[in-house]
């Protein structure tokens, strides 16, 4: 059931560069503690949609929306400072490359401590205890070592968990994860996703997961949006994805290779018949 006022409300969002739309009339609502997946081929506008919500678009992007609000506040009418604060405190983001989001010249523990101190007014000792607890809670057995390490001294999976710990430190109400595991090998990726799932559930956060991986999104989310050429061409419950009607979505589903099945020709989309809505 959708709350009377959704956590995130996006209505007719468009993003264009030099008059060329890359997001074209996208609308969706997200209830608190709902998990939404966005899938679609490369260049379909998934990241640009997320970046519009986060306020992280290039300066020459032209953004328009009938409504773009978070926790009842109008995002487009907000100044850059308020937007930045929201990003740090209420909305967390997990991107593909954790190494790029962490400060390379600062030890991991000190970076996360700083967030605890800034947002919760923790003392140095309290911050350290909270950070170690968070790292352990994210499945890092050797939390003490990760705490003392610089980002380049830990594996990709560990760095991703460290970044998640840092993002979750202010207790945000929404987590946006854009291809959170595509830089990791499959086994590590599955572990990181499981950790994310636990955290989202425990903290009763809402989540938007962007991925190429339909299976992952279907198993992780309540609802899935399928984007194609800047538009949402299908929106359905994750459990009903197999009933999807749009030729593009069917193409995506048909392209998932499965173990134990005879290989067959990969489905391809007939662009002549695949117009939106």
Ligand X SMILES: Nc1ncnc2c1ncn2[C@@H]1O[C@H](COP(=O)(O)OP(=O)(O)OP(=O)(O)O)[C@@H](O)[C@H]1O
Q: Is the dihedral of CA 238, 243, 247, 250 positive or negative?
A: positive
- Compute the least distance from the CB of residue 135 to Mg ion, in Å: 28
Which residues are at the interface with Mg ion (CB under 5 A)? Answer: 47
Q: How far is the CB of 46 from Mg ion (least distance, A)?
A: 5
Binding mask 164-203 for ligand X (x = CB under 6 A): ----------------------------------------
- Residue 226's contacts (CB-CB under 8 Å, 6 or more residues apart) are 39, 40, 232, 233, 234, 235, 244, 246, 248, 249, 252
For residues 108 and 151, is the Cβ–Cβ distance under 8 A? yes
Question: Tokens 């086994």 map to which residue?
Answer: 187
Number of neighbouring beta carbons within 10 Å of residue 178: 20
45 binds, among Mg ion, ligand X, none (CB under 5 to 8 A by kind): ligand X
Contacts of ligand X in 31-90 (CB under 6 A): 40, 42-48, 58
Query: What does 144 interact with, of Mg ion, ligand X, none (CB < 5 to 8 A by kind)?
Result: none
Question: Among residues 47 and 122, whose Cβ is nearest to ligand X?
Answer: 47
When asked if residue 22 is in the footprint of ligand X (CB under 6 A), the reply is: yes
Binding flag, residue 214, ligand X (CB under 6 A): no
Between 161 and 231, name the residue whose CB sits nearer to ligand X. 231
In this complex, which beta carbon is closest to Mg ion, that of residue 180 or of residue 247? Answer: 180
Residue 137, Cβ neighbours under 10 Å: how many?
16
Nearer to ligand X by Cβ, of 38 and 196: the residue is 38
Q: Which is nearer to ligand X, 17 or 82 (CB)?
A: 17
Per CB under 6 A, residues contacting ligand X are 17, 22, 40, 42-48, 58, 212
């Amino acid at each position: 059931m959708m709350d009377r006022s959704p956590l995130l409300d996006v209505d007719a969002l468009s993003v264009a560069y030099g008059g060329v739309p890359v997001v074209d009339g996208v609308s969706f609502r997200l209830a608190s503690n709902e998990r939404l997946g966005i899938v679609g081929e490369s260049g379909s506008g998934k990241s640009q949609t997320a970046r519009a919500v986060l306020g992280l678009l290039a300066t020459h992007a032209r953004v328009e929306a009938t409504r773009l609000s978070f926790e009842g506040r109008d995002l487009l009418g907000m100044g850059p400072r308020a937007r930045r604060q929201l990003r740090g405190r209420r909305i967390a983001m997990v991107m593909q490359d954790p190494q790029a989001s962490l400060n390379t010249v600062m030890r991991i523990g000190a970076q996360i401590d700083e967030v605890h101190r800034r947002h919760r007014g923790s003392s140095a000792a309290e911050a350290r205890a909270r950070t170690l607890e968070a790292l352990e809670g994210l499945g890092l057995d050797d939390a003490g070592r990760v705490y003392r390490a610089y980002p380049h001294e830990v594996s990709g999976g560990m760095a991703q968990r460290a970044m998640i710990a840092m993002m979750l430190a202010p207790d945000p109400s929404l987590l946006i994860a854009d291809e959170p595991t595509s830089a990791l090998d499959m086994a590590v990726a599955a572990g990181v996703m499981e950790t994310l799932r636990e955290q989202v559930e425990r903290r009763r956060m809402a989540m938007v997961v962007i991925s190429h991986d339909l299976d992952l999104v279907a198993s992780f989310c309540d609802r899935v949006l399928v984007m194609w050429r800047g538009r949402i061409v299908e929106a359905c419950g994750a459990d009903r994805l197999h009933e999807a009607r749009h030729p593009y979505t069917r193409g995506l589903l048909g392209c998932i290779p499965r173990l134990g099945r005879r290989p067959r020709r990969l489905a391809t989309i007939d662009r002549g018949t695949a117009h939106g809505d």
